[in-house]
């Protein structure tokens, strides 16, 4: 840590120049973080915090893991970046490792810069492949902040940017804590949620639907684990209609 840097100077620079996402800028007071290791991070006053959220759930093997740091240093010294039109061993190896875990013959991996961009490209591929335009997603979902992804998002964060982009249709997914279907058991919630989705497809015209996009367990909108059988039921509906 640079000797003259303090929590106050870091926070002042942040407040002067950094725009934070999903925040009323004048109301937030970001914690100035001095460092992190393992499951902890700390501020400039030496207070340590147990990072239960793994930042954006992406540092789930811990902060500054020595193997990750060494791999980043090694690759940075060798080759920092290469345009998508070229072949490079580490990208091919990453793709191979992912392909080992994808089902069936899904062996080609398309790399993007983040989740929202992945959603955008997945929707484009689905529309191109099916020749259809509609995409269904649930309320209480989050799919990203880019043009199509924000409209697919089903929580209130989309409202200021929601242009009701052509082809986006929202439906209710299962929510065991406060069931939108007045169910009292997991089996009822599953059955009624699938019936609602089937009705939505029927009234939208299943032949117009390119894709249904779901978070298997919705994350930032509220960790809602679906009841047993729901995801399999959605898969069956998609197979039935070529979605």
Binned at pLDDT 50, 70 and 90, residue 164 comes out as low
Residue-wise pLDDT for 168-227, tens only, equals 999 999 999 999 999 999 999 999 999 999 999 999 999 999 999 999 998 877 888 999
Binned at pLDDT 50, 70 and 90, residue 2 comes out as low
Given this model, what pLDDT does residue 32 score?
96
21 contacts 145 by C-beta, under 8 angstroms = yes
Supply the mean pLDDT for the chain: 93
CB atoms within 10 A of CB 149: 23
Determine the number of helices (DSSP H) and then strands (DSSP E) in the chain. 8, 6
Given this model, what pLDDT does residue 162 score?
79
227 contacts 190 by C-beta, under 8 angstroms = yes
The residue-averaged pLDDT of 121-132 equals: 97
pLDDT at 167 over 90: no
Q: H or E stretch including 127?
A: helix 115-130
Sheet containing 48-50, strands listed edge to edge, beginning at the edge strand earlier in sequence: 33-37, 40-43, 48-50
CATH level 2 (architecture), domain 113-241: 3-Layer(aba) Sandwich (3.40)
Residue-wise pLDDT for 90-109, tens only, equals 999 999 999 999 999 999 99
pLDDT at 145 over 80: yes
Closest to 95 in 3D by CA, of 82, 108, 84: 108
> For the domain bounded by 7-68, which CATH number is listed?
3.90.1150.10
Q: What pairs with residue 135 in β-bridges?
A: 168, 211
138 contacts 172 by C-beta, under 8 angstroms = yes
Q: Are strands 168-171 and 134-138 parallel, antiparallel or unpaired?
A: parallel
The residue-averaged pLDDT of 62-87 equals: 95
Domain boundaries, the chain: 7-68, 81-111, 113-241
CB atoms within 10 A of CB 153: 28
């Amino acid at each position: 840590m640079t000797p003259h840097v303090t929590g106050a100077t870091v926070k002042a620079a942040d407040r002067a120049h950094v725009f934070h996402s999903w925040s009323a800028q004048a109301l937030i007071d970001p914690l100035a973080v001095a460092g992190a290791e393992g499951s902890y991070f700390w501020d400039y006053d030496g207070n340590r915090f147990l990072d239960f959220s793994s930042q954006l759930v992406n540092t789930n093997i811990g902060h500054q893991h020595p193997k990750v740091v060494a791999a980043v240093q090694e690759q940075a010294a060798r080759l920092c970046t290469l345009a998508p039109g070229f072949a490079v061993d580490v990208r091919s190896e990453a793709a191979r490792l992912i392909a080992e875990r994808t089902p069936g013959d899904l062996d080609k991996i398309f790399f993007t810069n983040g989740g929202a961009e992945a959603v955008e490209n997945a929707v484009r591929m689905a529309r191109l492949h099916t020749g259809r335009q509609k995409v269904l997603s649930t309320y209480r979902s989050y799919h990203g902040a880019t043009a199509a992804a924000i409209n697919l998002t089903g929580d209130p964060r989309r409202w200021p940017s929601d242009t009701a982009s052509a082809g986006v249709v929202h439906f209710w997914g299962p929510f065991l804590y406060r069931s939108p279907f007045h169910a009292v058991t997991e089996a009822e919630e599953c059955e009624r949620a699938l019936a609602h989705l089937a009705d939505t497809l029927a009234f939208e015209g299943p032949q117009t639907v390119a894709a249904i996009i779901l978070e298997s367990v919705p994350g930032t909108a509220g960790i809602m684990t679906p009841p047993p059988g729901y995801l399999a039921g959605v898969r069956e509906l998609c197979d039935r209609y070529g979605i």
